[in-house]
Homo-oligomer: A and B are copies of this chain.
Amino acid sequence: MFIPSDREATLKAPPEARAEAGAVTEDGVGPSDLAEPAAAVAEAAGRSRAASRILAGASSGRKDAVLAAWAEALVEDAPAILEANAEDRRVGRRAGSTDGLLDRLELTEARLVDCADGLRALIGLPDPVGQVVRGSTLANGLRLRQVRVPLGVVGMIYEARPNVTVDAAGLAFKSGNACLLRGGGAARRSNAAIVATLRRTLAELAWPVDLVQTIDPWGRPGAVALMRARGLVDVVIPRGGADLIATVVEQATVPVIETGVGNVHLYVDASADLDMALPILLNAKTQRVSVCNAAETLLVHADLAQTFLPTALAGLAQAGVVLHGDDRARAAAPAGVEVQPAQPVDWATEYLALEIAVRVVDSLAEALEHIRTWSSGHTEAIVTSDLAAAQRFVDGVDSAAVMVNASTRFTDGGQFGLGAEVGISTQKLHARGPMGLAELTTTKWIVWGQGQIRP
């Protein structure tokens, strides 16, 4: 396929140079400009594929050595990475980016050390590649083995947070995959600097540098090309807000794994142990607000409208949580606690902030119906002392995780003991809930015969 030589040069130039090219392509490119990025991304994906073949059969030991070297290199290169990040933030501020974006964008010495620790944590994890999932010897003597193998080329599309670049590269590498990274324009220089460090380290250890590539220079058209690089890219994993994920799902022809949108519900049943209910509510809503497993809607059984609910509303208000409630919830608010009237949009909203929607329901069935209507299928929890109610809730909720008498904040790969987490899948195919290394692999049936033919 024809790649204009200067573009090819750009692709093969050090990431810094690519970032500059990115600064050009990033701005105002329309669908009419898609052909060239598509060709470039296809060419990059081809090099990822070739590199992935070399990685596929590598021993865990050799892979872990790279993870350790990456962790060191990131700390060594901190000055360059932090300077690139500072420039990204200067540009962002000039462009009027929100404080939230600038915060997600910010790298510090400490955050880089966390990234390095994240890579080191992968070293201890079992390598899924080569695991025999199933096996048997058939009556005709065929020896059948279903073995875990890497997916091959994994595309990651994410926003702002440059630390995802490190996470994604580490997870993909440990699971035997090459990665093509699209980190978003705002963090372009930070990601380019990080990718430069990872690639330099790969070269030093005699691995193909194209095991880690960024397509940021190709801007949004490059991201679209990645989603549509069918047969060249094995899976695309979007990490970010609902809009990003919806865009990818709509445009992708490459298989997609959706992650992370969490409109999470906590239902407090009539039979709830109230000494349990309040701490679980406060933990689910306030322990960390910007995460997908934080509670966004509180459903309370009508029997508790005069007992638990006023205390709950007061407790939330005291913790600085903005309250949106239906009429019965508002009526239950104690003096001095303001509860705004909830609009339908409140039931649909993942606030990711100190804000919650509150509704009084007359029954468990009504709670389940509300959850079916508004949930994003991430995590829902019930607080109850009634075993039958717990079982009905567990069976009736169609989400990746269902909690009984526990905080929704536990839906997490680390908390579940799965080790590192690629993300939390809210879809039903391939992976559901926290995704670990095994979810970045597929399987291959291997059949050993001695001349068997089909009768």
Give A residues with C-beta under 8 Å from B. Answer: 53, 56-57, 136, 138, 142, 144, 146, 149, 151-152, 230, 234-235, 249-250, 253, 255-257, 273, 275-276, 279-280, 283-284, 287-288, 390, 394-396, 398-407, 409-411, 415-417, 427-430, 432-434, 442-454
Q: List 14 A-B contacts (CB under 8 A).
A: A144-B416, A149-B398, A249-B253, A255-B428, A255-B429, A404-B446, A405-B449, A406-B447, A406-B452, A406-B453, A411-B445, A432-B442, A432-B445, A434-B445
Give the docked Cα–Cα distance between A235 and B432 (Å): 14
* Minimal beta-carbon separation of A281 from chain B (angstroms): 10
* Minimal beta-carbon separation of A212 from chain B (angstroms): 20
Q: Tell me whether B451 and A405 are in contact (CB under 8 A).
A: yes
* Minimal beta-carbon separation of A215 from chain B (angstroms): 21
* Minimal beta-carbon separation of A49 from chain B (angstroms): 9
Q: With A287-B453, A453-B287 in contact, do A447 and B249 touch (Cβ < 8 Å)?
A: no
Give the docked Cα–Cα distance between A56 and B284 (Å): 29
* 10 residue pairs, one from A and one from B, having the closest CB atoms: A406-B449, A283-B453, A428-B442, A409-B454, A276-B451, A430-B430, A401-B445, A429-B430, A405-B449, A407-B453
* Minimal beta-carbon separation of A417 from chain B (angstroms): 6
Q: Tell me whether A433 and B443 are in contact (CB under 8 A).
A: yes
When distances are taken between beta carbons in the complex, the residues of chain B under 8 Å from A284 are 453
Looking at A56, A283, A449, which has the most chain B CB atoms within 10 Å of its CB? A449
Q: With A142-B406, A407-B452, A446-B402 in contact, do A429 and B257 touch (Cβ < 8 Å)?
A: yes
Q: Tell me whether A415 and B454 are in contact (CB under 8 A).
A: yes
Q: Tell me whether A444 and B410 are in contact (CB under 8 A).
A: no
When distances are taken between beta carbons in the complex, the residues of chain B under 8 Å from A433 are 146, 443-445
When distances are taken between beta carbons in the complex, the residues of chain B under 8 Å from A427 are 255
Looking at A284, A428, A447, which has the most chain B CB atoms within 10 Å of its CB? A447
Smallest CB gap from A258: residue in B: B255
Q: A404-B447, A415-B454 are in contact. List 4 more A-B contacts (CB 8 A).
A: A400-B445, A401-B444, A401-B447, A404-B448
When distances are taken between beta carbons in the complex, the residues of chain B under 8 Å from A445 are 400-402, 411, 416, 432-434
* Minimal beta-carbon separation of A140 from chain B (angstroms): 8
Q: With A430-B429, A445-B416 in contact, do A152 and B273 touch (Cβ < 8 Å)?
A: no
Give the docked Cα–Cα distance between A454 and B283 (Å): 7
Smallest CB gap from A418: residue in B: B134
